[in-house]
């Protein structure tokens, strides 16, 4: 959700969001309360004090958590509730929309201030279940302060996208298709071609749901999320809706395109959540696409009006039926109490078109605990039976999960995860949302090597005055019983400035790109858009040098600490190699004058050598065999094998698949595929059949 300016009052006067810090209502006087987010009403001086305060030891923080949750968290009650029935919120199909091209061409419907975006100046408090410390901590995380090699990715499209409409923060997200990019901020979205030419919009977020007889059509609350379903060539646009004063009914509104044309028609659905505790308002929705379902996570705020956090909602919607516009499509969620504890979850989101290595366990949801651990839990829907199982994926009891130890983690802002990002020329500090993993949790299967990559903001200097650096992770084998932390890094080039609000993804070659906000009060760098990345062949746990993809022109002034909720990095499906990122900046000093920027980049193809031997069935070298390498465009390169059957092809471009075979006078050979990603491919054998 957003802040909005109240046009009937001075621009510095704003409506306070309903999410008052529930910890202040429940736990009065507890000194560790800052660990769950600072209030937007705290003075600049007080915030500076938080930045400079002594960093508690891990044990001290653990004790503070124990004191805070002694009144709120009941482990026995939670475990019992986890065995409860599947939650089946009401899901309704409302037919097919008009073409979006027609909707966008008409004047946009007026949305009253009362039904529009809501002020959001502080992090919604999401309580965290006390976790046992990891038995075996991961290796230390060496903070990367020294620049790596120059970023070898080449920036292509770099254009201004959707600007503010008198509201904040933008909650910036985008989806990328073969020929289009959609950018959606809290109140509106636009469609662009790949070079940045606007094709449609800005269009009101609620306009797509016109004709639905509920709040999806008449309110425009925001928290948008976008996806391009690569497997189906379809688009998914979603945001939430609720009544005045953050009262029920509570909806998640979905529009799924009927074709690959984002300007065409959409199947319209709504999912309604009960106001009865511990269900409630479905805030901060995140969407992951997997073959069997659209998986969503929410931070649930119970009651009506919405009150304190009751945990995180974990749900699956019937992808196959939603693509078909089937009115019998359903959404299934885990029992609410399974959500309780641990803060926000992220659903795994499929990149590429290669299916997951394991299709029997459903979708993966992850969260980061201060133990420190990354916890993975799997939700498996049975849409025919109307039930879900949610556990570790290997027959564990309801609510069981698998945890991966990570390096000691101090969340941004000296562990508070709150507001401490310094800007040049102002005492106003910015919120990091450092208590949450940042969208997306990008999953990819590269020839049986499956990875899950994601990022968060951590504190780079302990008790120092700086607030944020970007920590990124790659977990291998996330569907196995023993997933591993393959690599992790904290990117803090130069050991100066602050980096936060990032997003990361991996392409088909195993290369990664990460975008984020960056500011440096010491050097005068106003909030800007930073970019870094790595080739698959780079040293583990490292990124290449940082580049400022776009330099911000303004700082956010007093009265608004919330910078955003999330940004998005996506892989371009047209080649599964390029990346596109959307972030925000200010064109001038101000409060509600942000705009967004799309930056696309791609690592250039590199050349490698493919070599090996041609062998008989008995393992002897075959000389003078003609070895053929078939390129993707069906052209053929040939070499003749040497005395011991050796062959070599130089200057082969990475990131493509080649056919490799041989012919000989007395031998027949089959064809094999070779897909070099980074580094020479050696030791191949072509064996006679």
Asked if the model's pLDDT at residue 441 lies above 90, the reply is yes
DSSP annotation string for 375-400:
EEEEEEEETTTTEEEEESSSSPPTT-
Q: Is there a contact between 498 and 421 (Cβ–Cβ < 8 Å)?
A: yes
Which residues partner with 333 through β-bridges? 87, 315
Distance CA 305, CA 17 (A): 12
Asked if the model's pLDDT at residue 212 lies above 50, the reply is yes
E-strand ranges in 521-594 read 525-534, 547-550, 568-571, 579-585
Please state the length of the chain. 689
Distance CA 290, CA 285 (A): 16
Higher pLDDT, 2 or 551: 551
List, for residues 539-595, the tens digit of each pLDDT value: 999 999 999 999 999 999 998 999 989 999 999 999 999 999 999 999 999 998 999
CATH of domain 607-687: 2.60.40.1120
Rounding to the nearest 10 degrees, give the CA dihedral for residues 164, 184, 564, 6.
40
List, for residues 11-62, the tens digit of each pLDDT value: 222 233 333 233 332 322 323 322 222 222 222 333 333 333 344 443 344 4
List, for residues 153-195, the tens digit of each pLDDT value: 999 999 999 998 777 888 999 999 999 999 999 889 999 999 9
Asked if the model's pLDDT at residue 237 lies above 90, the reply is yes
Asked if the model's pLDDT at residue 613 lies above 50, the reply is yes
Q: Is there a contact between 275 and 307 (Cβ–Cβ < 8 Å)?
A: no
pLDDT band for position 341 (50/70/90)? low
Distance CA 296, CA 284 (A): 10
List, for residues 80-137, the tens digit of each pLDDT value: 666 778 999 999 999 999 999 999 999 876 666 666 666 554 445 565 665 566 566 6
> What is the pTM for the complete model shown?
0.83
Q: Is there a contact between 253 and 240 (Cβ–Cβ < 8 Å)?
A: yes
pLDDT of residue 126: 67
Helix (H, G, I), strand (E, B) or coil at 53: coil
Residue in the block written with tokens 């939700």:
379
DSSP annotation of 401 = -
What's the chain's average pLDDT? 86
pLDDT band for position 78 (50/70/90)? low
Q: Is there a contact between 583 and 452 (Cβ–Cβ < 8 Å)?
A: no
Distance CA 21, CA 407 (A): 29
Asked if the model's pLDDT at residue 596 lies above 50, the reply is yes
DSSP annotation of 688 = B
Higher pLDDT, 19 or 345: 345
In the chain the first and final C-alpha atoms are separated, in Å, by: 63
Domain residue ranges in the chain: 90-602, 607-687
pLDDT of residue 82: 67
Asked if the model's pLDDT at residue 344 lies above 80, the reply is yes
Distance CA 413, CA 420 (A): 6
DSSP annotation string for 108-139:
PPP--GGGS-----SPPP------PPPSSPPP
Spatial CA neighbour of 161 closest among 193, 206, 208: 193
Strand order in the sheet with 512-520: 498-506, 512-520, 525-534, 547-550
Please, which contacts does 513-516 make with residues 24 or more away whose CB atoms are closer than 8 Å?
A: 513/153, 513/569, 513/579, 513/581, 513/601, 514/455, 514/470, 514/472, 514/543, 514/569, 515/549, 515/567, 515/569, 515/581, 515/582, 515/583, 515/599, 516/455, 516/470, 516/567, 516/583
Residues 6+ away with beta carbon under 8 Å from 587: 553, 554, 593, 595
Asked if the model's pLDDT at residue 605 lies above 70, the reply is yes
């Amino acid at each position: 959700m957003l802040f909005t300016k109240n046009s009937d009052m001075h621009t510095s006067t704003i409506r306070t969001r309903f999410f008052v810090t529930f910890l202040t209502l429940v736990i009065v006087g507890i000194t560790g309360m800052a660990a769950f987010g600072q209030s937007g009403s705290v003075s600049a001086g007080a915030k500076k004090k938080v930045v400079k305060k002594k960093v508690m030891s891990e044990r001290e923080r653990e004790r503070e958590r124990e004191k805070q949750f002694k009144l709120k968290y009941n482990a026995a009650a939670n475990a019992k509730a986890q065995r409860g029935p599947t939650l089946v919120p009401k899901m309704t199909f409302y037919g097919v929309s008009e073409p979006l091209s027609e909707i966008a061409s008409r004047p946009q419907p007026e949305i009253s201030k009362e039904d529009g975006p809501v002020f959001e100046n502080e992090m919604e408090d999401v309580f965290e279940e006390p976790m046992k410390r990891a038995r075996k901590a991961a290796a230390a995380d060496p903070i990367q302060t020294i620049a790596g090699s120059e970023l070898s990715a080449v920036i292509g499209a770099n254009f201004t996208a959707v600007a503010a409409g008198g509201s904040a923060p933008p909650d910036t997200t985008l989806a990328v298709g073969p020929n289009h990019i959609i950018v959606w901020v809290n109140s509106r979205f636009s469609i662009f071609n790949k070079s940045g030419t606007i094709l449609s919009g800005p269009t009101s977020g609620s306009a797509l749901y016109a004709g639905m007889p509920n709040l999806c059509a008449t309110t425009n609350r925001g928290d948008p999320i976008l996806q391009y379903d690569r497997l189906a060539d379809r688009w998914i646009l979603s945001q939430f809706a609720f009544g005045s004063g953050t009262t029920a009914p509570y909806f998640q509104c979905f529009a799924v395109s009927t074709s690959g044309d984002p300007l065409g028609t959409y199947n319209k659905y709504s999912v309604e959540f009960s106001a009865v505790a511990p269900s409630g308002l479905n805030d901060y929705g995140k969407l992951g696409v997997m073959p069997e379902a659209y998986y969503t996570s929410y931070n649930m705020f119970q009651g009506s009006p919405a009150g304190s956090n009751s945990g995180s909602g974990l749900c699956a919607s019937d992808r196959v039926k939603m693509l078909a516009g089937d009115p019998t499509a359903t959404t299934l969620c885990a029992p609410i109490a399974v959500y309780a504890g641990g803060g926000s979850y992220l659903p795994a989101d499929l990149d590429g078109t290669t299916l997951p290595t394991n299709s029997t366990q459903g979708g993966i949801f992850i969260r980061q605990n201060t133990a420190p651990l990354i916890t993975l839990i799997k939700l498996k829907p049975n849409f025919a039976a109307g039930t879900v199982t949610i556990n570790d994926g290997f027959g564990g009891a309801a609510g069981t999960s698998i945890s991966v130890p990570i390096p000691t983690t101090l969340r941004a802002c000296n562990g508070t995860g709150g507001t401490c990002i310094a800007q040049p020329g102002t005492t106003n500090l910015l919120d990091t949302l450092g208590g949450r993993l940042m969208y997306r949790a990008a999953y990819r299967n590269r020839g049986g090597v499956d990875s899950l990559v994601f990022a968060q903001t951590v504190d780079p200097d302990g008790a120092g005055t700086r607030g944020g650096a970007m920590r990124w992770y790659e977990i291998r084998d996330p569907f196995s019983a023993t997933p591993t932390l393959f690599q992790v890094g904290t990117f803090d080039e130069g050991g100066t400035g602050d980096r936060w609000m990032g997003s990361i993804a991996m392409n088909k070659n195993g290369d990664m790109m990460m975008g984020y906000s960056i500011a440096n009060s010491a050097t005068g760098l106003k909030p800007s858009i930073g970019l870094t990345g790595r080739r698959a062949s780079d040293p583990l746990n490292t990124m290449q040098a940082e580049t400022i993809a776009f330099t911000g022109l303004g700082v956010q002034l007093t009265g608004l600490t919330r910078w955003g909720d999330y940004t998005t990095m996506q892989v371009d499906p047209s080649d599964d190699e390029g990346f596109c990122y959307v972030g925000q900046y200010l064109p001038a000093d101000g409060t509600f004058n942000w705009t967004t920027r799309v930056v696309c980049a791609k690592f250039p193809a590199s050349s490698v050598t493919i070599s090996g031997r041609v062998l008989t069935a008995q393992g002897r070298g075959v000389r003078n065999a003609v070895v053929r390498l078939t390129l993707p465009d069906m052209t053929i390169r040939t070499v003749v094998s040497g005395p011991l059957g050796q062959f070599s092809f130089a200057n082969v471009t990475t990131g493509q698949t080649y056919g490799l075979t041989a012919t000989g006078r007395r031998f027949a050979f089959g064809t094999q595929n070779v897909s070099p990603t980074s580094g020479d491919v050696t030791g191949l054998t072509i064996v006679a059949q």
